[in-house]
Amino acid sequence: MIIVLLVIFLTSFASLYGALTAIDTTSGNHDYLYLLLFTTSGSSIPSFLTFIALLGPFVGLSLGFDGIIGEKSERTLYRLTAQPIYRDSIINGKFLAGASIIFMMVYSMGVLVVAAGLLTTGLAPSGEELARIFVFLLFTGIYICFWLALSLFSP
């Protein structure tokens, strides 16, 4: 799981570098500059959005399979289900734990991309642009959580 998270962070920084080299900040048009950091692809590397769309499901699937299969292989799932706990509560707890990790990962990457954009361009984002980035990251987290839920119900 840690390797998958490291791959996600490395590819997001690579796509950020590609976007920073492709965006022209010297022109007078600075509308939605920070949104361009998430959606612009460089000359040889895809955009942040493309990497998250391709690698995000791996994070959700690996979290879900590790949550159930890891408990099965350590034989703690049998002890857990022997307690007076509903199975739905176990699955919901596994989902909420995975969803919190996913949202922390997505929003931390978003903050790092915005911070790197602020350091390199020197231009502050507008409130509307920050709201759009927040909604974009929210839907990105929901997209990855869909794959988490799918993997929790498959074993």
What confidence tens digit (pLDDT) does each residue in 5-52 have? 788 888 888 888 888 777 766 565 667 778 888 888 777 788 888 888
DSSP 126: P
* pLDDT tens sequence across 76-115: 878 888 888 888 888 899 899 999 999 999 999 899 888 9
For residue 116, how many other CB atoms are within 10 A of its CB?
16
Q: Give the three-class secondary structure for 1.
A: coil
State residue 9's pLDDT score: 82
Rounded CA gap, 103 and 151, in Å?
Answer: 17
Count of CB atoms situated within 10 Å of the CB of 155: 11
Q: Which residue range forms the structural domain that includes residue 76?
A: 2-23+32-153
**What is the predicted pLDDT for the residue at 145?**
95
Query: What CA dihedral angle connects 146, 64, 97 and 94, to 10 degrees?
Result: 110
Rounded CA-CA distance 59/6 in Å is: 11
Report whether 144 contacts 56 (CB < 8 A): yes
Number of domains in the chain: 1
Which residues, 6+ apart, have CB-to-CB distance to 49 below 8 Å? Answer: 38, 39
pLDDT at 127 over 80: yes
Rounded distance between C-alpha atoms, residue 47 and residue 24, angstroms: 16
* Residue 54 burial class via C-beta count within 10 angstroms: exposed 0-12, middle 13-18, buried 19 and up: exposed
- Give the single-character DSSP code of 84: S
Q: Which tokens go with 42?
A: 């460089």
